[in-house]
Amino acid sequence: MPGAEFRGLMDTDDRLAADLARDLDRTFDALVLAHQDRLYTIALRMLGDPRDAEEAAQDALVRAYRALATYDQARIRELRVRGWLTTIVLNLCRTRSLRRAGRGAPPVSLDGDAGGQLQPSAPRKEAPAEVAERHAERERWGARLADLPPVYRAAVVLRHVDGMSYPEAAAALGRPEGTVKAQVHRGIALLRTMLEADARHELEEMTA
Amino acid sequence: MNHSLDPVMTDATDAAVETALADLTATAPAGLRPKVLVEVGLADAYAHIDSPIGPLTVAWNGRGVSEVAAATDGGTFEARHRAATGRESFAMDALPSRLADAIGRRLAGDRRVRIDLDLRGHSPFEQDVWHKALEIPRGEVRPYGWIAAEIGRPRAVRAVGTALGHNPVPLIVPCHRVVRTDGFIGQYSLGGPANKRTILRSEGLDPEGLEAQAAAGIRYVGSDTTNIMCLPTCRHARRTQDVHRVAFRSVKAGIAAGYRPCKVCRPDSGAVLAA
């Protein structure tokens, strides 16, 4: 599934880079429209808090613009826009987490899906009960992700929430591909353990 | 496809986890794009403030204030702003408090407060005119010819008038402090000449008194204790006691009488030196 989308995104990204190189000011809005949802998603899944996530995504896009304004045309044309923006937002998330930890606040709040704006990106026609159940399920998964060590969380979010290929995730994270693969597998295994524990817990409550 | 697992089934698969993760995408809040575009100066935010001439719309972005206009409904403002700048604009509840505070202090006469301006897309000549107008203190006026001479274009008096008429940020760039060379108050882009008089009055000037003085031939004022002559609204001229005040029709007449031009208001800038 990520494979097919991935090809389309690469083509769009190449065109975007070419347009940005030609005319940054006329093209930047297209970059925002193409990448704001995924940057916000990555920040939300890394930080857990919608307001923090919005600030991190905003900061990432502003920094991207200011950097592009200093790059020459050739450098912009060669840019892997998707991975480059991802690296920026991940760095900002890391700084925010450290700052938050320094203030003594919990590293990640667990009500990541609170707030009204967090509809799935492609809303389908669903019955209200199904919508509520899907929302609750997303919240549970958001909380499980938040419980992952950050190094696994980033790899899992890029590979399976954002749908990046391993080479792309490796480039965005600045880690060898093999390392990222291992981190994703380890992260998935931990999530599966959490899911099984939750299911067991639920089962115990039902039979108690 | 149902992603939730039956609670009885505890041996979850990696595939089930991966499917659930793929459903964790979110949509960016509606305010994200406007905030980004405004911050980098590719769009503007706007809100209303009060002024001596009624409510105004102020537009700004990360580079500075980009427009001041008489308040209208949002649709009209956005269409005009787009026509003038090519940029989208977004309505806000209020100005950022630091900007509101800075504009309030500037309008009250504090020239030290820094207000960044976004004057992209305007000619260097226009920007020179507007930056020169920024030097005129509250409660004082200068003739169009003065600006022309000060920016090194002494013959471009009419073009100075046009540039001031195109001032996108009236009140902040005080084009209301630039008057006709014959001493009459003249035109004003922000709602007409009556508004220009209202603003000058709010700054402590008497526009009709100035016009009457100019009509009576008093264009320059000297002090017989210092032998310095000034434009009539220069703070040094206004400090001169009546008994020591000497009036001149022209700078040349003043020079002939042994007076030198004030170094603050520079009445010789753009002055017609013919007697």
CATH number at residue A53: 1.10.1740.10
Separation between Cα atoms, residue B25 and residue A187, nearest integer Å: 18
Residue-level pLDDT at A206: 75
Closest partner residue to A37 among B17, B25, B42, by Cβ?
Answer: B25
Q: Say whether pLDDT at A3 is over 80.
A: no
pLDDT at A207: 75
pLDDT score recorded for residue B13: 86
**pLDDT tens column, B3-49:** 444 444 446 688 889 999 999 999 999 999 999 999 999 999 999 99
* Residue B146 domain boundaries: 122-216
In this predicted structure, what is the pLDDT of residue A131?
86
Label the pairing between strands B260-261 and B228-230: parallel
Domain holding A181, by residue range, is: 127-208
Q: Judge if B96 and B71 occupy the same domain.
A: yes
Asked whether residue A72 falls in the same domain as residue A137, the answer is no
Residue A105 C-alpha, separation from nearest chain B C-alpha, in angstroms: 24
What percent of chain A has pLDDT above 70?
Answer: 84
What interface predicted TM-score (ipTM) does this complex get? 0.83
Number of domains in chain A: 2
Q: Mark which of A108, A135, A168 sits at the end of a domain.
A: A108
Residues B137 and B81 placed together within one structural domain of the fold: no
Of B24, B31, B36, the CB nearest to A142: B24
- List pLDDT tens digits, range B204-246: 999 999 999 989 988 999 999 999 999 999 999 888 888 999 9
In-domain check, residue B260: yes
In chain A, which residue's Cα lies nearest the Cα of B22? A161
Chain B residues near residue A201 by CB distance under 8 angstroms: none
What average pLDDT does the structure give for chain A?
86
Chain A residue whose CA is closest to B4: A137
- The answer to whether position B101 is within a domain reads yes
Place of tokens 């509840």: B93
Quick one: how far is CA B251 from the chain centroid?
30
Give the pLDDT confidence score for residue A99 in this predicted structure: 86
**Which residues of chain B make contact with A146, given a CB cutoff of 8 A?**
none
Size of interface A-B (CB pairs under 8 A): 126
Residue B20 lies in a domain: no
Interval A124-171: pLDDT, tens: 566 788 888 888 889 999 999 999 999 999 999 999 999 999 999 999
Tell me the pLDDT tens digit for each residue of A112-124. 444 434 444 445 5
Verify that A75 and A154 share a domain, yes or no: no
Indicate the residue among B190, B216, B242 that finishes a domain. Answer: B216
Q: Which of A161, A166, A194, A198 to mutate to test the interface with B (most CBs of B within 10 A)?
A: A161
Name the residue among B11, B22, B31 with its Cβ closest to that of A160.
Answer: B22
Tens digit of pLDDT for each residue in B250-265? 999 999 999 999 999 9
Would you place residue B1 in the very low, low, confident or very high pLDDT band (cuts 50, 70, 90)?
very low
B186 and B244 in a common domain: no
- Is A68 within 8 Å of A20 (Cβ atoms)? yes
CA of A29 vs chain B CAs: smallest distance (Å): 7
In a domain, A122, yes or no: no
Report the distance separating Cα B247 and Cα B111, nearest Å: 29
Q: What is the mean pLDDT of residues B141-169?
A: 95
Band (B100; pLDDT cuts 50, 70, 90): very high
**Structural domain count of chain B:** 3
* Mean predicted confidence (pLDDT) in A36-53: 96
Task: Determine the pLDDT at residue A101.
Answer: 79
Q: Is the pLDDT of residue B158 over 50?
A: yes
CB atoms within 10 A of CB B158: 10
- Given a cut of 50, whether residue A199 has pLDDT beyond it is yes
Domain membership of residue B136 (yes or no) is: yes
In the block, residue with structure tokens 């935010």: B45
- Give the chain B residue nearest A50 (alpha carbons): B29
pLDDT at residue number A9? 57
Could you tell me if A94 and A144 lie in one domain? no
Residues in B touching A41 (Cβ below 8 Å): 24-26
Work out the burial of residue B152: count CB atoms within 10 Å of its CB; fewer than 13 is exposed, 13-18 middle, 19 or more buried: exposed
Mean pLDDT of B115-130: 95
Torsion angle, CA of A113/A115/A121/A125, rounded to 10 degrees? 100
Q: How far is CA A198 from the centre of its chain?
A: 24
Residue B175 designated active-site: yes
**Which residues 3-42 of B are in CB contact (within 8 Å) with A?**
3-5, 7-14, 16-18, 20-33, 35-37, 39-40, 42
How far apart CA A35 and CA A40 sit, in angstroms, is 8
Radius of gyration for chain A, computed over Cα atoms and rounded to the nearest angstrom: 18
A89: pLDDT strictly greater than 80: yes
**A85 & A177 share domain:** no
Asked if A33 lies within 8 A of B33 by C-beta distance, the reply is: yes
Asked if B36 lies within 8 A of A39 by C-beta distance, the reply is no
- In the prediction, which pLDDT does B7 show? 44
B273 lies in some domain: yes
Phi, psi for residue B192 in degrees, rounded to 5: 100, 170
Q: Are residues B212 and B242 in the same domain?
A: no
User: Chain A: nearest CA to B39, how far in angstroms?
Assistant: 7
* Proportion of chain B above pLDDT 70, given as a percent: 94
